[in-house]
Chain A
Amino acid sequence: MTNHQEEVLQQLCNHITENLGFGGDLQVDESLVEQLALDSVKVLNLIMEVEDEFDVTIPINALADINTPRQLAIIISDLQG
């Protein structure tokens, strides 16, 4: 991962921990849905929040390629250019 991707990953983990009330130790290479017990609507809402946090547009079509926090961070970093 590049330095920028690492920074995004850290910010993303902080956002999830602070805003979703996740009390555990978020594993960056494990399923977001399973760790946070998200249903389909909550996943979509999380993406909407992340768009605002990072000022990027993440089409929900991209969700098929996102499983873990690390994958989401890489996509955000790419979108930020």
Chain B
Amino acid sequence: MTNNILEKLDAVAEARKAMLPKGLEAFGMPVDEIYSATEARKGDKRILFFGTNNYLGLTFDERCLKAAHEALDHEGTGTTGSRMANGNYNGHRALEEEFARFYECQSAIVFSTGYQANLGAISGLVGAGDVLLIDADSHASIYDGCTLSGADIVRFKHNDPEHLEKRLQRLGDRAANTLIIIEGIYSMLGDQAPLKEIVEIKNRYGCLLLVDEAHSIGVLGEKGRGLVEEAGVMDQVDFVTGTFSKSLGSIGGYCVSNHPQLEQLRYVSRPYIFTASPSPAIIASTRVALKLLEEGTHLRKNLWRNVHQLYDCMQGLGYELGPNPGPVIAGVVESPAHAFDLWSKLLNEGIYVNLILPPAAPDNKALVRVSVSAAHTPADMDRICEAFTRLSQAG
């Protein structure tokens, strides 16, 4: 007798089989050895990574490694407990103080992953009877945090302030119970939110605004604080969340705010309470990375030089790209089959990028998504540009 629960998973296996040719692992590709922030080995092939979120290339920075090694030796491999119990070390509290200072905010809370930062912040801030107005292209962690909260979830068209305002008008008095959620840079097409316009609307309607800077911390703003800094509206955004797993090169997440009530999330946010706190080595490397990020004008300069080179190259080759150059550069490809073909040919050339298929990609199309790093050398950039050019010419 077949079990219905397991049958649903069999359907997933069938769908995967139909979508992807056998023998090539586009999702969860095994990496056999990692050499640096940008290079790895797969089988007998040396691979150049253009599909990580290692925007500042800090994963192998000697200062981060040294801090992590020392913490590992002195504090052990893990905390084995929640921040609410035994897992609240000096390092966790120091990192929170450093995040608060970095954003010039009153409070900061560190979470164990970036996913949990959104889950924990959103579900801790709002509840039944409240309204969440979210950009339609929000990351899964935002959708999941919204679902966990029990609040009414309403979507507005991606990056469309007018559409957002129309929804606020309909909500009437409920605007006072509304939290708007957007992202600094969106992960699929790498485009930026129209933050100034959205801040103006949220101020007019008296709601709160949360900006997820997962892809923009370290990338935008003079000190790398993200779109809130670049747009000059840091003091008008209520909550900023983000991750350590991109520009900071480790794993974890944060939420900062000038609202003193943020501190109370420690007592109501289930994703904060019911999980082990980040390991000491992670905290130690992140503390150093945050300092390097803040001082990293030269890293941002390298990153943006690389971004512009690749964006211009792909645009010149006729790729449909997102509207803003950024560390995520996604080429829209007509069909999943074409995208898979391009993805596997790039891998064959020793270049790993991300393959994005529907429904994650818009309008039944597919994306070949490239992530650029400050650690990519001019030779690396020439190599990927030449590969795209060659494959383009080959048709």
Are B154's CB and A57's CB within 8 A? yes
Given A41-B359, A44-B136, A48-B136, does the pair A56, B170 have CB atoms closer than 8 Å?
A: yes
0/1 string, B138-179, CB within 8 A of A gives 1: 000000000100001111110000000011001100000000
B359 and A42 form a contact (CB under 8 A): yes
Given known A-B contacts A39-B358, A39-B359, A41-B359, A52 and B155 have beta carbons under 8 A apart: no
A75 to B170, CA, bound (A): 16
A19 at interface by CB-CB < 8 Å: no
Number of interface residues of A (CB under 8 A): 17
Tell me if A45 and B152 are in contact (CB < 8 A).
no
B358 touches A57 (CB 8 A): no
Does A48 lie within 8 Å of B157, measured CB to CB? yes
> Contacts of A1 on B, CB cut-off 8 Å?
none
Give Cα A56 to B358, complex, Å: 29
- Interface contact A57-B157, CB-CB below 8 Å: no
Once the chains are docked, how many angstroms separate the CA of A51 from the CA of B167? Answer: 9
Given contacts A39-B359, A57-B171, contact A44 B166 (CB under 8 A): no
- Does A3 count as interface, using CB distance less than 8 angstroms? no
The CA-CA distance from A51 to B168 in the complex, in Å, is 12
How far in angstroms is the closest Cβ of chain A from B363?
A: 10
Contact of A60 with B167 at beta-carbon distance under 8 Å, contacts A40-B359, A41-B359 already known: no
Let me know if A59 is at the binding interface, CB within 8 A. yes
- CB of A59 within 8 A of CB of B152, answer yes
Give the contacting residue for A60; candidates B154, B157, B171; CB below 8 A. B154
B170 contacts A57, C-beta separation under 8 Å = yes
Are B167 and A59 in contact, CB atoms less than 8 angstroms apart? no
Smallest distance from the beta carbon of A22 to chain B beta carbons, Å?
16
Which residues of chain A are near B358, meaning CB under 8 Å?
39
Q: Which residues of B contact A52 (CB under 8 A)?
A: 166
Q: How far is the CA of A44 from the CA of B358 in the complex (A)?
A: 14
Chain B nearest CB: distance from A57 CB in Å?
5
User: Could you tell me the distance between the alpha carbons of A62 and B62 in the complex, rounded to whole angstroms?
Assistant: 51
Which residues of chain A have C-beta atoms less than 8 A from B136's C-beta? 44-45, 48
The proximity string for B residues 265-289 relative to A, scoring 1 for CB distances below 8 Å and 0 otherwise, is 0000000000000000000000000
Within 8 A of B (CB), among A40-77: 40-42, 44-45, 47-48, 51-52, 55-61
**Do the beta carbons of A59 and B359 come within 8 Å of each other?**
no
Specify which chain A residues have a CB less than 8 angstroms from the CB of B152 in the assembled complex.
Answer: 57, 59, 61
Q: 5 shortest A-B CB distances, which residue pairs?
A: A59-B152, A41-B359, A39-B359, A60-B153, A57-B170
Interface residues of A (CB under 8 A from B): 39-42, 44-45, 47-48, 51-52, 55-61
12 additional A-B pairs beyond A48-B156, A59-B131, A59-B153, beta carbons within 8 Å, are A44-B136, A45-B136, A48-B155, A51-B167, A52-B166, A55-B170, A57-B154, A57-B170, A58-B154, A60-B154, A60-B155, A61-B153
Q: B: which residues have CB within 8 A of A?
A: 131, 136, 147, 152-157, 166-167, 170-171, 358-359
Question: Could you pull out 18 A-B pairs where Cβ atoms are within 8 angstroms?
Answer: A39-B358, A41-B359, A42-B359, A44-B136, A45-B136, A48-B136, A52-B166, A57-B167, A57-B171, A58-B154, A59-B152, A59-B153, A59-B154, A60-B154, A60-B155, A61-B147, A61-B152, A61-B153
